A and B are shown apart, each in its own frame.
Chain A
Amino acid sequence: MRIICPHCGARDRREFTYQGDAVALERPAPDAGGAAWDDYLHNRENPAGVTRDLWYHEQGCGAWLVVTRNTVTHAVLTTDLAATVREGLA
């Protein structure tokens, strides 16, 4: 599997560390309530298809990435810097 790092280009997946769903970028306010925090921390979809998750280019440039990929075909569709995605949410 290869992931295209926006900084480093296409790289072997061994350079990356997997984290989990990209929902982690959307941290609720402290007072958002139990349900919002449960969704943020624990409740996850398990799609057969397109998913967005976080990878860390740990053995490379150190950037956190949002990788959109297909869990059925294993195709990596897009990669964005987590910082850019986060700035878009703010």
Chain B
Amino acid sequence: MADLTAKTPCAGLLPLSIGTLTLTEVDPGHMTAVAPLKGQTSALSEALKTAHGMALPAPNRATGKDGARTIWFGHAHSLLIGPAPDPSLAQYAALTDQSDAWAVVRLEGPGAADVLARLTPLDLRAPQFKRGHTARTDLMHMMASITRTGPQAFQIMVFRSMAHTLVHDLKTAIEAVTARAG
């Protein structure tokens, strides 16, 4: 019997390049939900700094950088993206493997915010939603996480099973924005 082979959520769907905009699948590495135990938030933040070089993010914020990032992911947990979680974290937090649970894509290029404005009610204006800001929000009826990773770049996550819809909706919006630009 052959080994099990891995498939990414957007396999066969991406990359995509239309006009000045590109949509690519991100290989996030490990993704771990980190939910602090009661009263352990600061201790967890310290442990995260020691082990992975970044603090636990405040609400609506991301810490770290490409390759090793923690993004605020809800009222009670954050998502460590990149490295495998250091075992020391388990002392202060419930850790749940989410490496396969989310489709992760990167939308980049002039007009990226205009594309998202067609899909989410989130306020994405640059002064309100700066690099390092993140939000849990609705994206065409899908629970989504949106993080600004650059002046014209966003990381977008939805449940893995919805990767097809995500790509379809983003593609439609990219085409519309590109057509307007002429």
Contact = CB atoms under 8 A, between A and B. Distances in A.
A8 to B, nearest CB: 6
Contact of B75 (A12, A15, A59, A61): A61
Contacts of B40: none
B121 A63 contact: no
A61 B136 contact: yes
Contacts, number: 42
Contact of A8 (B76, B136, B143, B144): B136
B138 A14 contact: yes
A39 interface: no
Contacts of B76: 62
B178 interface: no
Main secondary structure of the interface of B (DSSP, over half): loop
A8 B135 contact: yes
Interface string B41-84: 00000000000000000011000000000000011100000000
Nearest to A2: B121
Interface residues of A, number: 16
Contacts of A59: 136-138, 143-144
Interface in B102-150: 121-123, 135-138, 143-144
A60 B121 CA distance: 11
Main secondary structure of the interface of A (DSSP, over half): loop
A57 B135 CA distance: 12
Contacts of A7: 59-60, 75
A14 B135 CA distance: 15
Contact of B121 (A15, A58, A61): A15
Given A7-B75, A62-B74, A15 B137 contact: yes
B117 to A, nearest CB: 12
A44 B7 CA distance: 51
A9 interface: yes
Contacts of B75: 7, 57, 61-63, 81
A11 interface: yes
A57 B76 CA distance: 13
Nearest to A5: B75
Contacts of A61: 59, 74-75, 136
Contacts of A62: 74-76, 136
Given A58-B143, A63-B75, A12 B121 contact: yes
Given A14-B121, A59-B137, A60-B136, 4 more contacts: A7-B59, A11-B137, A61-B136, A62-B76
Interface of B: 59-60, 74-76, 121-123, 135-138, 143-144
